[in-house]
């Protein structure tokens, strides 16, 4: 059975009381449902990782961050290392999100280094790729996504093994316009083909072959989840706004659970 991944990207929202309530609700959910066919994770702001560890520990629900430093330690004011994240039992870290790329001018090389740090500490990177509206209208979306993936290909053997790629078209994030099922399916299939085919030529996946998961993000909500998650090439969803409502997020988890 292939699991569907439901991952919340909480961005810079929330408070101690918000997360306390959210974690308890989702823990409750995990006690009453089998999680055999879904994997649920919340990528939250750093200050709440300790609370996640305390409340969600041993619940079968995972948590993680939305960024990580590219270095392991040193005089890097404001940065948080993968080793530190691991101390809070983080299992996932988002990298390459377009909001960070735009606001903090993250280079492809930085993102590749972050990807490696996450893997070095046995966590799973959620690497975001996606095109702008102008690029899609110019018919360049696959070229753009391929070049984003290519930045990783030469960064070591088995690099994609056990990682998650999130296809997040930039025009669909925070808008009211999710990608159509056809667009999501076609790009997720393209990403899988690229990674499992092209990258395998240089032995990126490795023998143990824990394949990559390709999830979709950008205006996923409780109404379009079923359609998007029913697509065989789409392994799950990265959810922004809808994860700010624990009830909506759990509704999405329930839909995925029933698939």
Q: Does 106 bind ligand PGA (CB under 6 A)?
A: no
The b/e string for 184-207 (b: 16+ C-beta within 10 A; e otherwise) is bbbbbebbbebbeeebeeeebbee
Give strand ranges (E) for the chain.
Answer: 4-9, 38-43, 62-65, 92-95, 124-129, 164-167, 213-217, 236-239
- Enter the DSSP assignment of 43: E
Q: Does 10 bind ligand PGA (CB under 6 A)?
A: no
Q: Does 55 bind ligand PGA (CB under 6 A)?
A: no
Binding-site member from 138, 174, 197, 223 for ligand PGA (CB under 6 A) = 174
Residue 91 C-beta: closest distance to ligand PGA, Å: 18
Q: Which is nearer to ligand PGA, 96 or 218 (CB)?
A: 218
Number of residues that bind ligand PGA (CB under 6 A): 12
User: Catalytic pick from 97, 121, 141, 257?
Assistant: 97
Would you give the end-to-end CA distance of the chain in angstroms? 11
Residues 6 or more apart whose Cβ sits within 8 Å of residue 72: 81, 82, 83, 117
Q: Which is nearer to ligand PGA, 217 or 246 (CB)?
A: 217
Q: Does 168 bind ligand PGA (CB under 6 A)?
A: yes
Q: Which is nearer to ligand PGA, 93 or 199 (CB)?
A: 93
What track of x and - describes contact with ligand PGA for positions 217 through 236 (by CB under 6 A)? xxxx----------------
Give strand ranges (E) for 130-222.
Answer: 164-167, 213-217
Give strand ranges (E) for 55-138.
Answer: 62-65, 92-95, 124-129
Cα–chain center distance at 183:
19
Residue 155 C-beta: closest distance to ligand PGA, Å: 23
Q: Does 81 bind ligand PGA (CB under 6 A)?
A: no
Binding site for ligand PGA (CB under 6 A): 9, 168, 173-174, 217-220, 238-241
Active site residues: 97, 168
């Amino acid at each position: 059975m292939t699991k569907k991944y439901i991952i919340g990207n909480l961005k810079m929202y929330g408070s101690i009381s918000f997360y306390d309530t959210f974690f308890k609700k989702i823990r409750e959910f995990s006690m009453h449902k089998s999680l055999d066919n879904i994997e649920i994770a919340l990528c939250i702001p750093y200050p709440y990782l300790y609370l996640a560890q305390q409340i969600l520990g041993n619940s079968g629900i995972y948590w993680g961050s939305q960024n990580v430093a590219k270095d392991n330690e040193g005089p890097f004011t404001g940065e948080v290392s993968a080793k530190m994240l691991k101390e809070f039992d983080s299992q996932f870290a988002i990298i390459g999100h377009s909001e960070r790329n735009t606001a903090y001018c993250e280079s492809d090389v930085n993102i590749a280094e972050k990807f490696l740090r996450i893997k070095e500490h046995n966590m799973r990177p959620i690497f975001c790729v996606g095109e702008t509206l102008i690029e899609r209208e110019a018919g360049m979306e696959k070229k753009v996504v391929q070049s984003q993936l290519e930045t990783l290909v030469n960064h070591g053997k088995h690099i994609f093994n056990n990682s998650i790629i999130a296809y997040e078209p930039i025009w669909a994030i925070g808008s009211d316009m999710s990608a159509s099922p056809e667009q999501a399916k076609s790009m997720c299939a393209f990403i899988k083909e690229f990674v499992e085919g092209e990258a395998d030529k240089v032995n990126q996946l490795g023998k143990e072959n824990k394949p990559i998961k390709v999830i979709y993000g950008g205006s996923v909500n409780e109404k379009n989840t079923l359609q998007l998650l029913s697509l065989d090439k789409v392994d799950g969803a990265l959810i922004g706004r809808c994860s700010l409502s624990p009830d909506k997020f759990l509704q999405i988890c329930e839909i995925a659970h029933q698939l």
